[in-house]
Amino acid sequence: MDKTASGLGHLRIVLSDKAYIGPGRADLLEGIAATGSISAAGKAMGMSYKRAWSLVQALNEGFGRPLVETARGGAGQGGAQLTGLGHEVLARYRAMQVATETAIAADVAALRAAISDISE
């Protein structure tokens, strides 16, 4: 009855002016790792290929080094996969999400209690 633990906060990690990662980008990276394709990952998240591709561009350029490697044509008719750095960024982001939710759980619960007596 309460999915409170799922989305109590949006965490955006800012490593530099251009290099940052938030929930959407992390999900996209995860989708690419799972599907091996930008378009498939984007479709699964309900976004256009162009948007997914733009996010990948932003990530690669923002971090100064690619998090996603792409291939056109070829054996499997192209595809995309995470680089080592991409995997690390994703894994650490997920770890930080967990650490954060743990750290703020008590305060979030207290705030929810403080505002939960509204009629409408």
Sites for DNA among residues 75-104 (CB under 7 A): 75-80
Binding mask 32-71 for a second copy (x = CB under 8 A): -------------------------------xxx------
Instruction: Decide which of DNA, a second copy, none touches 49; Cβ closer than 5 to 8 Å per partner kind.
Output: DNA
CB-nearer residue toward DNA: 79 or 89: 79
Nearer to DNA by C-beta: 80 or 89?
A: 80
Site string for a second copy, 101-120 (x = CB under 8 A): -xxx--xx-xxx-xx--x-x
- Nearest C-alpha neighbor of 102 from the set 1, 2, 27, 8: 8
Closer residue to a second copy, CB minimum distance, 50 or 112: 112
Look up tokens 């996969």; give the residue. 81
Q: Is 21 an interacting residue with respect to DNA (CB under 7 A)?
A: no
Contact in structure between 8 and 105 (CB atoms under 8 Å): yes
Closer of 75 and 103 to a second copy (Cβ):
103
**DSSP helix/strand/coil, 79:** strand
Alpha carbon distance 8, 29 (integer Å): 21
Give the whole-angstrom CA distance, residue 84 versus residue 8: 29
* DSSP characters over 23-72: HHHHHHHHHHHHHS-HHHHHHHTT--HHHHHHHHHHHHHHHSS-SEEEE-
Q: Which residues bind DNA (CB under 7 A)?
A: 37-40, 47-51, 53-54, 56, 70-80
